[in-house]
Structure 1
Amino acid sequence: MNLNDLILELAIFVAILLGTFLAAKIFSLVVRGVFRNWVPAVRSHFQRLVSITIWVIGLIFAFQQLGLRLDFLLLILGLIGIGVLIAVKDTLMNIGAKYFSDVYVPFKVGDIIKVAGSTGKVIEINPITTVLLTKNEELVSIPNSLFLKEKMRNITPHVWKEILVPITIGSGIDLPQFESEVLKACNKIRKYLDERFPPVLTVKSRNQRSVSLVLALMVKEPDKKNEIIDEINRKISEIEQKMARKT
């Protein structure tokens, strides 16, 4: 190998390292923004895991550029990766279960539930645990992964009637007008709803690009929930498209 080829390979090696550094920084910022509502300590660990993963991939490409054998390096990295996964297995299970429970497990903050021999009011749902307040004013911390394994009973009054419809709109849409249009749409399906409980649209979170909301409806007949959800989602989509064209 002549000097020019060596210089070129070293230059590419350095370029890959710089690209890896920039990619790790960018993805770390993305993770911090997307998961800004997570517990800071958990978010920090996740950012670190993403950065390490990017650096490992970058180093593999960089050393390949130098023509070095990577068998032993890949073996060491694989063993380290397995060790890390084993160490954080429970944490990852709880984080993953939290997002599955958001979709498939019918409870929210404020509900009264029974699970794993504990009964209480849900006062917090974080990425790792769900916290209950019992009648004796004791705090009970339930790992989120337990909700995918154990039978859970929601004993909140009228809970069987409730429908929660998640909505995400662009930050440029006029929120008061959007709320007014959504409530008008709900009025058109009022024959399916319990008149004692008017629809409620609340803001869950917001950032520079979007606003996350939740529409709460109380139905008369639980067997019509899917029909109602499909209809209200169709109306909300039409409202959002109409308002987005005006912005």
Structure 2
Amino acid sequence: MMEWESIATLAGAYGLKVLGSLFIFFVGKKLASLASSLANKMMEKAKVEITLAKFFSNVIYGLLLVVIVLAALSNIGIETTSFVAVLGAAGLAVGLAFKDTFSNVGAGVLLVVFRPFKVDDFINAAGESGTVEEINLFSTFMRTADNKLIIVPNGRIIGGNIVNFSAKPTRRVDLKFGVSYGDDLRLVKQALREVLEADERILKEPEPFVAVSELADSSVNFVVRAWVNSPDYWGVYFDTTERVKLAFDEKGITIPFPQVQLHKE
């Protein structure tokens, strides 16, 4: 009879502890979810990037859940020191196994926080050029001019130079044209200026620049610099090249090109 009473007392005591641990787990899980949701809302109000806000809220939830599980286990008398050590060792092993992934996540956080570029910007990064379509915590998606999709790990982007062609509202178009030594340089400058002045996309300020840049071996080289709105860059670049050639043809200005003469002996 005494044995049954001892068993009942022991079962009652442990039963209460188990119930207490279950209460700690489920209530703690609910509180962790609320804390994670509250942190996410606060970051949204602070206008933190949505990807970064979700990442940090998930981290907060995961850390709180680990603390809750350890507290529940400790309540029923299970020594949690060994669990902490195991978790630490497991975390180290996972960190070493996924170091490149974590590096990309860290780089993704930096890209989101410092914003060296945004979606729809045309950039050159990690040796690739294209329009940014998506930035997540692991990689950046870029669309090339010929409509190919390039997925670049964030670690490669943050570890190198980033050239953002869309960051500024205006860009400078730089062109170089060579003419024959026998051509009238004043006529050449006039022809170039007329081409620039006829294009309404070219800004008046800063004023377009035309000058002799080099007396080369077989040509006199002119440099042409014109400022345009960033979206007009390539259109002005190609159109100006074509119009200069047509203007030179019209005015009899010669563009030197390599020639090979064959002599019959």
TM-score, length of structure 1 as denominator length: 0.48
TM-score, length of structure 2 as denominator length: 0.46
